[in-house]
Chain A
Amino acid sequence: MSFAEVLRFALRGLAANKLRSALTMLGILIGVAAVILLVAVGNGSAQAINERIEALGTNTVTVMSAGRGGSTGPALTEPVADALADPQLAPDVAAVSPVVSAAATLTFAGADHDVNQFVGTTASWFASSNTPVGSGSAFTADDEAQGRRVVVLGRTVAEELFPRADPVGQQVTVGGALFTVTGVLAPKSSTGFQDGNDTAVAPLAAVRQVVTGYGALTSILVRAKSPDRVDAVQAQVATILNQRLAVAAGATAPYRIQNASQLLATQTETADTFTTLLGAVAAISLLVGGIGITNIMLVTVTERTREIGIRKALGAPRRVILTQFLIEATLLSVLGGALGVAAALAGSSFSIVGVQPVIVPSSVGLALGVSIAIGLFFGGLPAARAARLRPIDALRYE
């Protein structure tokens, strides 16, 4: 018997058992699609985190108080921030932006909206933090110097307070004071838990006066002249701070300096953990799918064994039977797997729980490999066993 003939036999066998074929394929499909999609979700959220950190800028360092609230010991103050802009001691520093931030409620025409981060800073912050203004304009150094109450709204805030109107030029109330809106930030990609567009930015002096008071700074954002000078800037900033805050050699510093790549490293680690976790969930779903396939195939073993008995009684050589049943199992597994990949690709174009999935190629290979192996093994093994039986034993099988 030629291979083409055996292939035709296998196809006819699949067609003759449509429900069984469909169920087996469905099991493989679900297993494969679940694995690929779950890993893609994990990968997608990891990439989103990376993008957001990269959007922060890779040429900045952030100085934060080490202690909570800065109540003990010397704190980050405006003079400290000014001291960092020293062309002699810190030649690689391009700009220094002191930052205060607090939660605040913005009100406009009876509507109000809470922002977690009402940021007070200087005009240089927009460039340093890689936060461009979408419409209108940022505030200027002059606004800052004059202590004008102006504000740039994040996209979410603008949409909440001004669902129809153009916010630029309008006045919103924050902490009982009126702030004139000068612009709206360009939309930022946001990930999972925090909305990067739910913010508002105003001059440092105005925010301190109205919202935060005159305590310590929340942080200082320092921009290096180029990305490869970040390490130098970090050292220079540390030197100045140690001097200003009188830190003894060897003592723990009352501040922390972080650069974007360090942030990236810790966040990537978190994201990797997340991906691994999802991978484990995916592996379990593959296992469950595999058990489903196994069940269907084992339930039909009696019927198949009898069929093999009939075929042997009619003079089918063992090799022909084996080939036919292996082709059947292969076709089911490969077809089910391919459909699973297609389903996963289709599903990955939708965002799932707020995450845009990004397919990991190796997960496609793994999922396909495992499910095809399961299909082949549990489809082929009973057939191989039955093909070895005497016809009468296969016919009597129960």
Chain B
Amino acid sequence: MTRPVLEVRGLRKTYGTGEATVHALRGVSLLVERGDYVAVMGSSGSGKSTLMNILGALDGPGSGTYLLDGVDVSRLADRQLALARNRLIGFIFQAFNLIPRTSALANVELPLAYAGVRPRQRRERAMAALALVGLADRARHEPNQLSGGQQQRVAVARALVTEPALLLADEPTGNLDTRSTADVLEVFDQLSAAGRTIVLITHEPEVGDRAKRLIRLVDGRIVTDVRQSPLDRVPVGARPGRPGR
């Protein structure tokens, strides 16, 4: 059996102190295999984002252990953390978080630049990633010249350009209309079909239905963890061919 992409055990996280203490996570254990497509659902305030930020190494775990590709993240120094974020994780935010006044291409190139990839190769790989999300013809556009759906697809391209072991998305379609949502979800299905490991948070049941595995979070605990389709099968939503635009 191959090493799991991520494994958390007994993860707890609290915010604030004394009277104002909020228990965002109350002991979460989770194991995700390579190639899985996991949807996390739960009501607002149930701790989904908190979990996601820890998985993305954007936030430190309160207590418990987090092994990312077999490495204990809580032991890493700043430089190694930067390396982990760069090589192992692709993070997609609800608010897109593209660098403003910077072209789509430059945004997608950014993680490669931090990885030390040479400019020419960088450009080629970034263009390939943009083509994958169907935005090759928008490479020169700046974020404010793109629709929400297009911005999110640029963000997806940026997350997958380094070919990370793990793609994390925190409500990637939360700010999008139905048309754009469908576009972005098609990209995820496509990526899953190509063997990428994806964990995404969503509010919408139809998004959860497409995933291979559905986890429900209530009040900082996992209450259900259901496998919807086998690990080695193409997800239900995935269709052959390129995602539309």
Interface residues of A (CB under 8 A from B): 1, 5, 9, 12, 16-17, 303, 306-307, 309-318, 320, 390-393, 395
Contact = CB atoms under 8 A, between A and B. Distances in A.
9 contacts: A9-B113, A16-B99, A16-B101, A311-B114, A315-B86, A316-B114, A390-B59, A390-B60, A392-B53
Interface residues of B, number: 30
Contacts of B205: none
B71 interface: no
A1 B116 contact: yes
Contact of B158 (A9, A314, A317, A392): A314
Contacts, number: 71
Contact of A392 (B58, B84, B116): B58
Contacts of B101: 16-17
Interface in B48-97: 53, 56, 58-60, 78-79, 82-87, 91, 93, 97
A318 B85 CA distance: 13
B79 A311 contact: no
Interface string B110-124: 110111100000000
A313 B58 contact: yes
B52 to A, nearest CB: 10
A1 B114 CA distance: 6
A316 B79 CA distance: 9
B56 A313 contact: yes
Contact of A317 (B99, B111, B114): B114
A123 B90 CA distance: 97
Nearest to B88: A315
Interface of B: 53, 56, 58-60, 78-79, 82-87, 91, 93, 97-102, 106, 110-111, 113-116, 158, 162
A186 to B, nearest CB: 64
Contacts of B158: 314
A391 B170 CA distance: 15
A318 B101 CA distance: 22
A391 B85 contact: yes
Q: Among B53, B56, B83, find the residue whose CB has the most chain A CB atoms closer than 10 A.
A: B53
Nearest to A393: B59
Nearest to A390: B59
Contacts of B83: 315, 317
A380 B129 CA distance: 34
A320 B78 CA distance: 12
Q: Among A16, A303, A318, find the residue whose CB has the most chain B CB atoms closer than 10 A.
A: A16
A16 B102 contact: yes
Nearest to A320: B114
Given A310-B97, A390-B59, A392-B59, A317 B113 contact: no
Q: Among B56, B60, B78, B98, find the residue whose CB has the most chain A CB atoms closer than 10 A.
A: B78
